Amino acid sequence: MLVKVEKNELQNGIIMAMGATSVSATQPILSCLLFEVSDGGIQITGNNLEMSIRTAVITDNYTMDKQTGKAAIGARKIADIIKNLPDGEVQIRTNDKHVTTITCGRSTFKVAGMDPDEYPTTIDIEPTGSFSISANVLKDMIRQTLFCAAPGATNPLLTGALFNASSGCLEICALDMYRVAHSKKMTDYNGNDFKLVVPARVLAEVAKLLTGKNNVTLTYDERNVWFDIDGVKVMSKHIYGEFFNYVKIFSADRDTRINVGRIALIESMTRATLVEDKGKVAVKLTVSDNAMQISSTTALSSLNDEIAINGNGNDLTIAFNPNYFIEALRVMASDSVEMQFSGPSSPCLIRPVSSEGSEQETSYIVVPLKAA
């Protein structure tokens, strides 16, 4: 294999594909990137068996300095090498013993690789359907929901986020045992309805790649899902199973509704996290008239705080983990939020107070602590 390419283009391709390599791999080949040279350029693939990321680097300026072939090279090693090379043309040559020579200017590295034929193959799917959406919109929807997923949970459905597409609408929902995040965007989609759960780790890598304003295309079949992001392809198996009925949770009747400043609530909740006992923290909210009392007490410290509110309904006292509020409030952009309660032992609904006619909606559910 022989190819020449500009350093910056090669470095960008390596960084993107590295998101799917495995640092502590039981199979050493999974810590490598696969480089494949063809007439069209270099294709760089990372694959950790959970997902793969494939990116292409165009080498049109060096069409005569190219020999097709492939090589498997340690991802971290080649990333560090390319990063520290001077700007300019980089030549990569691999021999039949899987030793790669990397040359740039007066610098030459030799790196022992692995047999590229041992690298896991990436499946080319026959799509059941596809969906396109703005990269910026998708990035925002992932940011607003993914923090509620539980990648380490024993229930596989909690380790990902649901994509629910229907005519004119895309919804993304993620949850653990204590909170639910939901984002809904009106779109011009008019294809078949579909529901699929994408692993949280995969969506985290997808979000990193969503830097442009172009559309992202999601393609899926019965087992797999592809994200095509400006020519970078991310593939994963989606998680099998019937997702939780989140619609029922959000549509429950709640008779106490208040509006409160988002920043003021973040600041007060953050102060409450300072009152902790062996890493455990709880905050008590007392809603009455036009104020909300925020308090927290341990054997060693206490907090009593108050913020102004507007609303109506019944007075109540209810306890929460303040960190769950803070995480939800930080991904909102509105100046104020609405909080809805139905009692001291029922979940609280939080959503931004947005202008009417907004094409995107976000909502959160936080489960209270047992004692208030």
Percentage of the chain lying above the pLDDT 90 cut: 78
Q: Which helix (H) or strand (E) holds 184?
A: strand 179-186
Instruction: Find all residues with CB under 8 Å of 248, minimum gap 6, and list them.
Output: none
Nearest to 238 by CA among 256, 220, 257: 220
Distance CA 40, CA 274 (A): 57
Q: What are the structure tokens assigned to 338, written together?
A: 């609405």
| N-term to C-term CA, the chain | 67
Q: How many CB atoms lie within 10 A of CB 27?
A: 12
| Span 270-289, average pLDDT | 91
Q: Environment class of residue 249 by beta-carbon count within 10 Å: exposed (0-12), middle (13-18) or buried (19+)?
A: middle
The mean pLDDT value of the chain amounts to 92
Is the CB of residue 210 less than 8 Å from the CB of residue 276?
Answer: no
Q: What residues does 203 pair with on adjacent strands?
A: none
Q: Show the domains of the chain with their CATH numbers.
A: 2-118 (3.10.150.10), 129-247 (3.10.150.10), 252-366 (3.10.150.10)
pLDDT surpasses 60 at 372: no
What backbone phi and psi angles, to 5 degrees, belong to 231? 90, -10
Residue 310 tokens, joined: 């507007």
- Hunting for tokens 């929901």 — which residue is that? 145
H helical segments located in 210-301: 246-250, 262-272
Q: How confident is the model at residue 360 (pLDDT cuts 50, 70, 90)?
A: confident
Asked if 145 contacts 138 with a C-beta cutoff of 8 angstroms, the reply is no
What's the pLDDT band for 278 if we cut at 50, 70, 90?
confident
Whether residue 65 has pLDDT greater than 80: no
Region of residue 241 (left: phi > 0; alpha: psi -120 to 50; beta: else): left
Average pLDDT over residues 14-28: 88
Q: For position 214, what pLDDT does the model report?
A: 85
Average confidence (pLDDT) over 142-171: 95
Q: Regarding predicted confidence, which is higher, 25 or 265?
A: 265
Give residue 63's pLDDT band: very low, low, confident or very high (50, 70, 90): low
DSSP classification of residue 238:
P
Sorted by sequence, the CB contacts under 8 Å of residue 214 that are 6+ apart come out as 134, 135, 230
pLDDT at 62 over 70: no
> How sure is the predictor about 176, in pLDDT bands with cuts at 50, 70 and 90?
very high
The fraction of the chain above a pLDDT of 70, given in percent, is 96
Encode burial over 85-112: b for 16+ CB neighbours within 10 A, e otherwise: beeebbebbbeeeeebebbbeeeebebe
Each residue's pLDDT tens digit, 131-148: 999 999 999 999 999 999
Whether residue 135 contacts residue 212, with contact meaning beta carbons closer than 8 Å, is answered with yes
Q: 255: number of CA atoms within 13 Å, CB side?
A: 7
Model confidence pTM above 0.75 = yes
pLDDT per residue as tens digits for the range 37-57: 988 789 999 999 999 999 998
pLDDT, tens digit, for every residue of 343-354? 999 999 999 997
Report the SS3 class of residue 76: helix
Confidence class of residue 341 from pLDDT cuts 50, 70 and 90? very high
